[in-house]
Amino acid sequence: MVGLISALILIPLIGAFALFSAPERNARPTALLFNALTALDAVVSWRHFNIEAAGLQLVERHAWIPAIGAEYLVGIDGLSLLLVLLTSLIIPFAFLAQKMDRGFYALMLIMQSALYGTFTAQNFVLWFLFYEMSLIPAFLLIKIWGTGNRDRAATKFFLYTFLGSVAMLLGFLAIYLATGSFDFATLAGLGKNGLLTGKVAWLSFAGIFLGLAVKVPLFPFHTWLPDAYESAPTSVSMVLTGVLSKMGVYGFVRLLLPLFPTEIRIVGPWLLALALCSIVFAPLAAWAQSDLKRMVAYLSVNHLGYCMLGLFAVAASSVGAAIDTQAALSGVFMQIFNHGITAAALFYLVGLLEQRRGLRGIHDFGGLMQRTPLLCGWMSVAMFSSLGLPGLNGFIGEFLIFKGSFAIAASFTAVAVIGLLVTAIVFVRAMQALFSGPLVEDCSGFADLLPRERITIIPVTLLMLAIGLAPQFMFNIFNATVVHMARLFG
Amino acid sequence: MSHWIIDHLWLICAVPFAASLAILSLPNGRHKSAAALAIIGQIAALVMSFFAFLPTLQMQGLRAVQNFTWFTFGSYALRLGWLLDPLAAVMLIMITLVSLCIFVFSIGYMAEDRNFVRFFAYLSFFSGAMLGLVISNSLLLLFICWELVGLASYLLIGFWIDRPSAAAAAKKAFITTRIGDMGFFLGLLWLYSRSGTLLFYDGGNGCLESAGLALLGASATFIALLIFCGAVGKSGQFPLHVWLPDAMEGPTPVSALIHAATMVAAGVFLVARVYPIFSSGAINGVTSSLTVVVWIGVATALMAALIAIAQADIKRVLAYSTVSQLGLMMVSLGVGGVAAGMMHLLAHGFFKALLFLGAGSVIHGCHGEQDIRKMGGLRRLMPVTFSTYAIGTMALSGVPLFFSGGWTKEEVLHVTAHWPASRLPYYFLLAGVVLTALYMTRQVIYVFFGDRRAASQRAHESRRVMTMPLIVLASCAILFSVVLTPAWPWLHGYLTDEPARFEIVRLIQPSLFLSLILVGAGVALGIWLYRKAGVRDRQRPADIDPLEFAQPQLFRFLENKMWIDELYARTVIAFGWMSARLSDWMDRHLWDRLVRGFGRIGQLFGTFTASVDEHGINAGIDETTAGTRGLGRLVSAAHSGQIQTYLGVIAIGVLALLLFYAWLA
């Protein structure tokens, strides 16, 4: 089926324009309608996707600017499909979280289109276009609809990531000048033998690394994140953590790892150390937060740190056995999806608390279990999923990442276990403060989960449980890609 | 039926899980349906466990394995499995039987509770997780159930969620056990990377089979010790025992469940299950990892028994006795007596559940009072509770001949005495026997003898639904000894795969007299010290403990649990919190300052270029323009518009031209 991928990118854009002709009160239904269309498109793509095949599928290729080797080339492999499905899930989830005005939904739809583009483009110029295109709506969404110190947070977010993008662009120009190609697959093929040599290689590596490390974000490039997530409205935080943060991880898998195998091997221990810092320091910092949103934001840094640990472990070693490489990669892919839904759900639930209380400090609540048992119950599930309790989705990804990384980089992985422990401390502390003890006066008027809130959060939480118990359907999406990539990196 | 069960072993843990889910979906008022569902689920599990037990009787050393693929990652399959062997089978029987008694008891105990329905859902979940744990044929599946047991205990300890102390205790339990679990997790990863499988038994390829063990090599010691970290956390061994006494904040049936059938048993069971890793490369039955197990066990057993002497809360005394008994089991496993340790675990499961439920009955009868110093004289008011409690006490103290605990303790002492590495653990355990008898005597005297004090004035015997489980468990505590005695060591033979012969002459052994003397000494010491507990005696006021009066400093030390909690609060917890604050500070003032610094540099650069623009480039341009304008002004001045000036200038010009040409010519 040709055109499925282009349709994915186009439908939200059309939606964004359609929104302006729709009446204000129909803004959310219209936006959701277009989400339903993209979701349908994503599911059809999944049906047409051959899970046995490793290469790109549903490819569309058109000449664009031949002079600089830019093509319109989109297609999906297992990883792209996973992220397309995640995007299709998180955006409507975010739309259901908050009722906003037309402009808000329009910008979100533009961002959605950019996300689909980023996850499916297979040519650097096209990819970079989408990559940057997602940044502007995100910036505006924080700046216009945010709370608190939103101007500052939005500017910091924009400038920081944009600076990273510039560094990345320069890095890629060096590659283009050396190879004459922007095509991901071609470059990955050349990468095995080293694309560049000498100082140029290192400069180019550093540029791309910086751009992606800011995007993920990787310690110590993460300081824009707590501010941005804290200031953004709930639904934007959900998309930022659920999907946008995955653009960085995706970039690492798609660009940095295949293009610079020798460089990564040389600086591997340092990269692992940075990942380790994300894993250990971020939850420690989360422990010291009293703002619930900031707390969840810091834990996002920790969870993405696990992804980085797995990727760097795979890339930094040339001796990894196939089973360990595949375990780590599968774990990273699972973690990408799991963190997406779990962190989005956590932001959603924090948003519900904030809507009811008007505040979101950890000590502004207390004894909620007596008043809102359902809200507390489902929130606990999301929290336990995030702290990696077996039986829920988080454990699957983390177990595989640790399994793969431990065999390859044992000492780093052994220290990373501290992250698992501190995450548990943070969540159990939060549960104690929010749910237990005597009911706080200001919370005594809270409504428990409303029907519309129930239909939003319960399916997502059930998905966490389904992945935690029988995750095969998820692995089917990317197993062939994992095998292919493990051969490429290993 | 039996064969069907072996093929569907997973049903034994699935049924309580299903019951739990069904109960959770009930509306809050449906007490009867909730209790009925939980108990039906438990009975079903008990019946299935019994049918699973039968084939292990018929076939000596049966090991039925059911492996399956959980999921495939990349091109590799992750396999889990279920396992039925004698170890699993006896655990199944004990857990389901004890849990059933506790469930029935809870109907009475929790009748007044608003969240009765939720309580039974959690109980079922707890039992399901524990049953899954014992029939796991994979360390990963065991770990999964292990964590679910942890979750259930977290929910149940913090069940009375509006009490801040309960929430704090739940948090403490979850985090303390998770510290151990992280070690367990690392051990699991290490084992997986060395042996390539986490299945225990897999037709010769499992990690506990000789081929798999051979792959471990020298790392077996470290793997064993890391796994042992998990057991230390769950089974409340020193130094991670601190959560267990606080877990008393949960409702008493939960304490019974945690301390007898589930949770704490998990750690001992884990060591027994992966024993081949501990004993791999053993010389004369001693390995470094097992030696660590022995000494941790000795330290725990003695420390907890000492602390138990000075506790005033009826449940805390029992809690520390559990910690102490678990230490004893660990010693037994460490010195090589796996069967003895497991037998003590099983016997302990019955009599400790009995004691906790008895304590629950006492608390219920005394309207929620838990301080033993405020009770007294209850033996007349609560005869059933008293007599069953006395049986439990004698079993725990290890009174020889009639009580299961006595026989199993005998076994443990026996194997410990023959440990080739050292005789010291044996002597320490003998001291532990005296201490156990002492603190139990103290407790029984305070609660059941003497005059009635504040809390026991209006005490009453509990309802039938609560006393029946006591009677059943008390019978178990006595009848269980039938299969334990040296005359017919059936259970020992069953666990070690050696047929047991019946020889009545072996019933009386010299070591029995030693035990009798030691227990007698403990009881006598207890009676002598506490005969006048709760009444004024010479200068001692009535509310002061006789031991406290004699040795105030020692008593204070023990009463405050050797200040271990305080030590942790000042060291580990303080360190953790400090690191958290430090990380936050670094984020705000180091990393973010760096980022802002770069931003500042950018800003400075901008200011600099702006000023270069202003004063350098712009100034130059300004000068040029000024010059041009001046010139323009000059020129424009010339454009005065007066014809005579123009004509004059033209005339001068023409004259000049004429002169020029003339000069040229």
B residues 249..308 contacting A (CB < 8 A):
none
- B515 token code pair: 């035990």
CA distance A264 to A212: 14
Residues 6+ apart with CB under 8 A from A370: A439, B161, B162
Question: What is the band of B186 on the pLDDT scale with cuts at 50, 70, 90?
Answer: very high
Contact residues, chain B, for A439 at CB < 8 Å: 162
Mutate to test the interface with B, among A218, A274, A277, A284 (most CBs of B within 10 A): A284
> Is A475's CB within 8 Å of B73's CB?
yes
Cross-chain CB nearest to B595 (options A223, A410, A429): A223
Nearest to B137 by CA among B203, B195, B61: B203
Give chain A positions within 8 Å (CB) of B187.
none
Could you tell me if B480 and B404 are in contact, meaning their C-beta atoms sit under 8 angstroms apart? yes
Per residue in A321-379, pLDDT tens?
888 999 999 999 999 999 999 999 999 999 999 988 888 888 888 888 888 888 999 99
Distance (Å) from the alpha carbon of A460 to chain B's nearest alpha carbon: 18
Interacting residues of B287 by C-beta distance below 8 A, sequence separation 6+: B221, B224, B278, B279, B280, B281
Residue B191 exposure: Cα atoms within 13 Å on the Cβ side: 29
| Cβ–Cβ < 8 Å for B38, B123 | yes
Write out the H or E segment, with its range, that includes residue A73. strand A70-76
- The Cα A249–Cα A307 span in angstroms is 7
Instruction: Using a CB–CB cutoff of 8 Å, tell me whether B460 touches chain A.
Output: no
pLDDT at B535: 67
At which residue do the structure tokens 């989830």 appear? A93
- What would the two tokens of residue A218 be? 């990787």
- What is the number of helices (H) and of strands (E) in chain B? 30, 2
Burial class (CB in 10 A: 0-12, 13-18, 19+), A444: exposed
Q: Which of A40-49, A378-387, B454-463 has the lowest mean pLDDT?
A: B454-463
Number of continuous H segments (helices) and E segments (strands) in chain A: 22, 2
Quote the distance between the C-alpha of residue B66 and its chain's center.
Answer: 28
pLDDT given at position B326: 92
> Least CB-CB distance to A390: which of B147, B186, B193?
B147
Mean pLDDT in residue range B234-257: 87
pLDDT of residue B261: 67
Torsion of CA B331, B335, B339, B341, to 10 degrees: 0
Phi-psi region of A412 (alpha: psi -120 to 50; beta: other; left: phi over 0): alpha
Number of residues written out for chain A: 490
Measure the CA–CA gap between B391 and B477, rounded to whole angstroms.
8
Query: Which is nearest to A428 in space by CA: B167, B179, B236?
Result: B167
Phi, psi at residue A223, to the nearest 5°?
-70, -15
What percent of the residues of chain B are helix, what percent strand, and what percent coil, each to the nearest 5? Answer: 75, 5, 20
pLDDT tens per residue across span B347-406: 888 888 888 888 888 888 888 888 888 887 788 888 888 888 888 888 888 887 778 888
**Chain A interface includes B572 (CB < 8 A):** no
Could you tell me the pLDDT band of residue A1, with boundaries at 50, 70 and 90? low
Q: With a cut of 90, say whether residue B229 has pLDDT above it.
A: yes
For residues B511 and B507, what is the distance between their CA atoms, to the nearest angstrom?
11
Beta bridge mates, B82: B66, B136
Q: Do B74 and A329 touch (CB under 8 A)?
A: yes
Strands A70-76 and A57-65: antiparallel
Q: Which segments of B59-134 does DSSP mark as H helices, in order?
A: 86-109, 116-134
Look at A425 and B586 and tell me if their CB atoms are within 8 Å.
no
Do the Cβ atoms of B167 and B158 come closer than 8 Å? yes
Handedness of CA A37, A39, A42, A46 (dihedral sign): negative
First to last CA, chain A: 33
- In this structure, which amino acid lies at residue A28? R
Nearest-by-Cβ selection for A437 from B162, B583, B594 = B162
What pTM was computed for the model?
Answer: 0.90
In this predicted model, what pLDDT tens digit does every residue of B643-663 receive, in sequence order?
Answer: 777 777 777 888 888 888 777
pLDDT value at position A490? 65
Q: Residue A282: what pLDDT? A: 92
Per-residue model confidence (pLDDT) at position A66: 84
Nearest to B192 among A403, A435, A486 (CB): A403
Task: Enumerate residues 6+ apart whose C-beta is below 8 A from A294.
Answer: A226, A229, A230, A286
Q: How far is CA A1 from the centre of its chain?
A: 28
Q: What is the DSSP string of A110-152?
A: HHHHHHHHHHHB-BHHHHHHHHHHTHHHHHHHHHHH--SSHHH
Digit-coded pLDDT (tens) for B102-150 = 898 888 888 888 888 999 999 999 999 999 999 999 999 999 999 999 9
In chain B, what residues touch A285 (CB-CB under 8 Å)?
Answer: 580, 583-584, 586-587
Question: Which of chain A's residues have a Cβ under 8 Å away from the Cβ of B576?
Answer: 287, 422, 425
Q: Determine the distance in angstroms separating the CA of A84 from the nearest CA of chain B, rounded to an integer.
A: 20
Instruction: Provide the mean pLDDT of chain B.
Output: 86
Task: Report the 10 Å Cβ neighbour count for A215.
Answer: 25
Q: Which of residues 147-166 of B touch A (CB under 8 A)?
A: 147-148, 151, 154, 158, 161-164, 166
Q: Which residues contact B344 (CB under 8 A, 6 or more apart)?
A: B325, B328, B329, B332, B405, B408, B409, B411, B412
**Inter-chain contact A406–B72, Cβ cutoff 8 Å?**
no
Portion 171-200 of B in contact with A at CB < 8 A: 171, 174-175, 178-179, 182, 185-186, 189-190, 192-193, 196
Asked if B606 reaches chain A (Cβ–Cβ under 8 Å), the answer is no
The sign one gets for the Cα dihedral B12, B13, B15, B19 is: positive
Among chain B residues, CA nearest to A427: B171
Of the candidates B237, B291, B523, the residue with the CA atom closest to the CA atom of residue B416: B291
Q: Please state at what angle helix A224-231 crosses helix A292-316, rounded to 10 degrees.
A: 140
**Chain A contact for B25 (CB, 8 A cutoff):** no
Query: Would you state the pLDDT for residue B375?
Result: 81
Instruction: Quote the CA–CA distance of A362 and A432 in Å, as a whole number.
Output: 10
The pair of structure tokens assigned to B663 is: 């000069």
Distance CA B642, CA A467 (A): 97
Closest-CA residue of chain B to A282: B583
Is residue A10 within 8 A of residue A113, CB to CB? The reply is yes
SS3 A266: helix
The alpha carbon of residue A428 is apart from the nearest alpha carbon of chain B, in Å, by: 6
Q: What is residue B229's DSSP assignment?
A: H
d(CA B554, CA B505): 45
CB count, 10 Å around CB of B258?
27
Q: Is the CB of B125 inside 8 Å of chain A's CB atoms?
A: no
Instruction: Count CB pairs under 8 A between chains A and B.
Output: 153
Distance CA B242, CA B236 (A): 7
Q: Tell which of B70, B582, B587, B596 to mutate to test the A interface (max A CBs under 10 Å).
A: B587
Which residues in chain B have Cβ-Cβ distances shorter than 8 Å to A417? Answer: 182, 185-186
The reply to whether residue A370 touches residue B161, judged by beta carbons under 8 angstroms, is yes
User: Rounded to whole angstroms, how far apart are CA atoms A87 and A35?
Assistant: 10
Q: Which of A277-291, B485-499, B643-657 has the highest mean pLDDT?
A: A277-291
Residue A486 to residue B74, Cβ atoms within 8 A? yes
Minimum mean pLDDT range among B56-60, B475-479, B482-486: B482-486
Contact A278, A304 (CB under 8 A): yes
User: B192 to chain A: which residues are within 8 Å by CB?
Assistant: 403, 406-407
Asked if B309 contacts B435 with a C-beta cutoff of 8 angstroms, the reply is: yes
pLDDT at B268: 92
Alpha-carbon distance of A211 to A203, in angstroms, equals 12
Please tell me which of the candidates B76, B147, B186 has its beta carbon nearest to residue A326.
B76
**Amino acid (1-letter code) at residue B392:** G
B615 CB neighbour count, 10 Å cutoff: 11
Integer distance in angstroms from the first to the last C-alpha of chain B?
141
pLDDT for position A128: 92
What is the least distance, in Å, from the CA of A266 to any CA of chain B?
Answer: 24
Which DSSP state fits B77?
Answer: E
- What SS3 class is residue B612? helix
Residue A401 C-alpha from the chain's centroid? 16
Amino acid identity of A476? Answer: N
Alpha helices (H) in B590-642, listed in sequence order: 592-611, 618-638
Interface-testing mutation among B13, B26, B73, with chain A (most A C-beta atoms within 10 A): B73
Is 90 exceeded by the pLDDT of residue B15? yes
Tokens 């739990």 sit on residue: B20
Contact B130, B151 (CB under 8 A): no
Q: What is the CA radius of gyration of chain B?
A: 39
Question: Out of A223, A327, A472, whose CB is closest to B591?
Answer: A223
CA distances from B478 to B150, B345, B515 (A): 31, 15, 18
Least CB–CB distance from B581: residue in A288, A431, A471: A288
Instruction: Check if the interface score ipTM surpasses 0.85.
Output: yes
Element (H, E) at A62: strand A57-65
Q: How far apart are CA B290 and CA B277, in angstroms?
A: 10
The whole-angstrom distance between A106's CA and the closest CA on chain B is 31
Nearest Cα residue in chain A from B150: A389
Round to whole Å and give the CA distance between A203 and A206: 5
Task: Look at B175 and A384 and tell me if their CB atoms are within 8 Å.
Answer: no
CB contact under 8 A, B580 and A284: yes
Read out DSSP for A372-427?
-HHHHHHHHHHHHHHTT-TTSHHHHHHHHHHHHHHHHSHHHHHHHHHHHHHHHHHH
Nearest to A186 by CA among A268, A326, A71: A71
Question: Per the CB < 8 Å rule, is A483 touching B75?
Answer: yes
Residues 366-385 of B with CB under 8 A from A: none
Is B189 in Cβ contact with A327 (below 8 Å)?
no
- Tell me which amino acid residue A325 is: T
Q: Give A303-320 pLDDT, tens digit per residue.
A: 999 999 999 999 887 777
